[in-house]
């Protein structure tokens, strides 16, 4: 049982990194990115392709981060003069194109079978200890990412992003280059998503196109809306809350004695229902965004 809890905590941590990344884009910058999973895919496929062609894990990491930063930059450039909802559709479409390419280019990505046998993290350690060390690594990374995001939001840069979100024309009139701001924000937050993807690939040792389905993006969206859009702690809380709830759906199903379709349906229902309930009844989420207050500019 404790193994299971450790596994779920590691997964929650990886999703927390993704949620922090999306929170920077959507919560702080107001960018409706529906292609978040494509940035994660840069991380997973970076690791997998480096393993597949024997480049070594370090170059895999470099590849993952570079690809994600580039894609984030491209997302921001594509959306430079689009409205938020149009941009959301574009990112969704681009993420889907990337998934289709990953499914069909067998020589590069292993196609629909994916790439398996990626060496696990800390290969020298044995089972239980390894899990604990991975857990510690992931939790430390989440903490570091959280502090980094706090630093970013609290500082001058965060204020400029917020003014771009609330009053883009005012921001432009004050001399802020809003397109450059968007590009930087996307590139920085993409790196977080890539780190999550890289660790994920080495943790589960398998990378396939079904892991980067658009429904995963919607799940990350549900995490940050439930947790509280614009608040870093909220993103982490949302990720852990949803992952742990999902982990216990199968037990509830067995306990009530329902067929196994209900597990998938339960996940969808929780994601969708959670989003609707929080939008309607508690728009600020569990941990609301702090407006004003102490800053260290």
Residues contributing to the site for another protein (CB under 8 A): 30, 32, 78, 81-82, 84-86, 88-90, 92-94, 96-97, 100-101, 103-104, 214-215, 218, 221-222, 225, 261-262, 264-269, 271-276, 279-280, 283
Given the complex with another protein, which of 183 and 202 has the nearer CB atom? 183
Per DSSP, 115 falls in state E
Given the complex with another protein, which of 96 and 289 has the nearer CB atom? 96
Q: How many CA atoms lie within 13 A of 52 on its CB side?
A: 18
Given the complex with another protein, which of 147 and 252 has the nearer CB atom? 252
Contact 89, 214 (CB under 8 A): no
Given the complex with another protein, which of 43 and 79 has the nearer CB atom? 79
DSSP annotation string for 157-180: HHHHHHHHHH-HHHHHHTT--HHH
Given the complex with another protein, which of 60 and 227 has the nearer CB atom? 227
Q: How far is the CB of 156 from another protein (least distance, A)?
A: 26
Given the complex with another protein, which of 13 and 274 has the nearer CB atom? 274
Q: How far is the CB of 280 from another protein (least distance, A)?
A: 6
Q: How far is the CB of 104 from another protein (least distance, A)?
A: 5
**Across-strand partners of 207?**
115
Residues 204, 119: Cα–Cα separation, whole Å: 9
Residues 13, 47: Cα–Cα separation, whole Å: 18
Q: How many CA atoms lie within 13 A of 118 on its CB side?
A: 31
Residues 18, 24: Cα–Cα separation, whole Å: 10
Residues 202, 187: Cα–Cα separation, whole Å: 23
Residues 186, 171: Cα–Cα separation, whole Å: 18
Given the complex with another protein, which of 104 and 129 has the nearer CB atom? 104
Calculate the alpha carbon distances from 16 to 110, 224, 233 in Å. 28, 9, 10
Given the complex with another protein, which of 265 and 286 has the nearer CB atom? 265
Q: How far is the CB of 122 from another protein (least distance, A)?
A: 36
DSSP annotation string for 184-229: HHHHHHHHHHHHHHHHHHHHHSEE-GGGG-HHHHHHHHHHHHHH-T
Q: How far is the CB of 210 from another protein (least distance, A)?
A: 13
Q: Which residue has the tokens 């929080």?
A: 278
Q: How far is the CB of 290 from another protein (least distance, A)?
A: 19
Which residue, among 29, 17, 129, 130, has the nearest Cα to 75 in the 3D structure? 29
Q: How far is the CB of 196 from another protein (least distance, A)?
A: 22
Q: How far is the CB of 70 from another protein (least distance, A)?
A: 16
């Amino acid at each position: 049982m404790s193994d299971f809890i450790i596994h779920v905590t590691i997964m929650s941590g990886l999703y927390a990194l993704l949620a922090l990344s999306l929170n920077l884009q959507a919560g702080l910058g107001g960018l409706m990115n529906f292609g978040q999973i494509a940035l994660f895919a840069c991380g997973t496929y970076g690791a997998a392709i480096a393993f597949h062609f024997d480049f070594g894990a370090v170059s895999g990491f470099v590849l993952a981060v570079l690809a994600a930063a580039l894609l984030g930059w491209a997302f921001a450039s594509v959306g430079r003069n689009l409205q938020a909802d149009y941009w959301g559709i574009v990112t969704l479409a681009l993420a889907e194109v990337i998934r289709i390419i990953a499914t069909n280019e067998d020589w590069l990505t292993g196609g629909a079978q994916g790439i398996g046998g990626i060496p696990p993290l800390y290969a020298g350690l044995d089972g239980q200890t390894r899990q604990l060390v991975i857990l510690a690594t992931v939790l430390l990374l989440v903490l570091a990412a959280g502090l980094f995001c706090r630093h970013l939001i609290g500082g001058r840069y965060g204020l400029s992003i917020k003014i771009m979100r609330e009053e883009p024309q005012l921001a432009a009139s004050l001399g802020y280059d809003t397109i450059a701001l968007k590009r930087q924000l996307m590139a920085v937050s993409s790196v977080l998503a890539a780190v999550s993807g890289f660790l994920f690939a080495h943790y589960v040792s398998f990378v396939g196109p079904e892991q980067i389905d658009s429904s995963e993006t919607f799940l990350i969206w549900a995490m940050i809306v439930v947790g509280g859009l614009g608040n870093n702690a909220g993103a982490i809380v949302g990720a852990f809350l949803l992952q742990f709830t999902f982990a216990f759906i199968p037990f509830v199903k067995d306990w009530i004695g329902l067929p196994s379709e209900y597990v998938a349906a339960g996940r969808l229902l929780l994601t969708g229902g959670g989003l609707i309930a929080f939008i309607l009844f508690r728009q600020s989420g569990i941990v609301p965004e702090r407006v004003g207050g102490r800053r260290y500019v």
